[in-house]
Amino acid sequence: MMNTCLVITGASSGIGAALAERLATEGASVVLVARREDALAEVAAKCGPNALAVAADVTRREEVERVVKEALGRFGRIDVWVNNVGRGISRMPSELIDADVEEMIRVNVLSALYGMQAVLPHFKARGDGHIVNVSSMLGRIPFAVQRSAYSAAKHFLNALTANFREEVQSTHPGIQVSLVSPGVVRTDFGLHARHGGADNRTLPNSQSAEEVAEVIAGVIASRRPDVYTPPGAHDRVVAYYDGLGEDA
């Protein structure tokens, strides 16, 4: 990762912080983005002198565009952009209100869309670049009914990622757009869900943020387009859809 510059959103804790610290140990320059300035500063201190903390709300397009400008102003280039912002929800689908759905789309979809669109001109000018969108296993299998709006937003993100990749690579094949789908991760994600939620650290079959960060680092190195982080996840997804589908 030497001489590589990465922008990581949602970098103040959890997967984003673990990824930043992991890549910084390999000599990468990291731009850490989140709303919590104090928490960002702590992560930046762990990452060393080649870390830039940018406090920003990435659900606002103009804030994301500012991140691009600050990253380029400090490092002169961006090689990888990781969209890692997300928020869950605890509400049954029959009880959802407009505000629930709007927030799930704003946080889980629009933040990524703004990042992809903001960095794309820079990548096109260079003819190279890598976008990594962090999704969820719930974006493949809607196995948690109370997370329905979150699951739907991640399905949206998955489709958006695939279509963005196809559009961009038709003219700029050197630009990759990858999707990474974690399962349950031992962070405070569940506790911060809209309407509250269970502590992910108490749930079975979980991974640590560091384990997920290791997979994402591998995706950045390999540029693979679509990766699940839990062991055996691919087979579970295939089995789920095989059980649902029938020919007409």
Tokens of 195: 């309407």
Asked about 240 being catalytic, the answer comes back as: no
List the catalytic residue out of 114, 150, 228, 241: 150
Residue 128 has pLDDT above 70, yes or no: yes
Contacting residues for 229 by C-beta, under 8 A, at least 6 apart: 180, 181, 182, 183, 207, 211, 212, 215, 216
pTM: 0.94
Look at strands 51-55 and 129-134 and give their pairing.
unpaired
Residue 202 has pLDDT above 80, yes or no: no
Which segments of 79-184 are extended strands (E)?
80-83, 129-134, 175-181
Closest by CA to 89, choosing from 98, 78, 100, is 100
- Residue showing tokens 């659900």: 59
**Cβ atoms < 10 Å from Cβ of 104:** 26
Domains of the chain are: 5-244 (3.40.50.720)
Helical segments of 76-110, H only? 98-105
> Ramachandran region of residue 161, left (φ > 0), alpha (ψ -120 to 50) or beta?
alpha
Tokens of 73: 């102003």
- Residue showing tokens 């943020």: 209
Residue 1 has pLDDT above 70, yes or no: no
pLDDT in tens, 59-102: 999 999 999 999 999 999 999 999 999 999 999 999 999 999 99
Instruction: Work out the end-to-end distance of the chain between its first and last CA atoms, rounded to an integer number of angstroms.
Output: 49
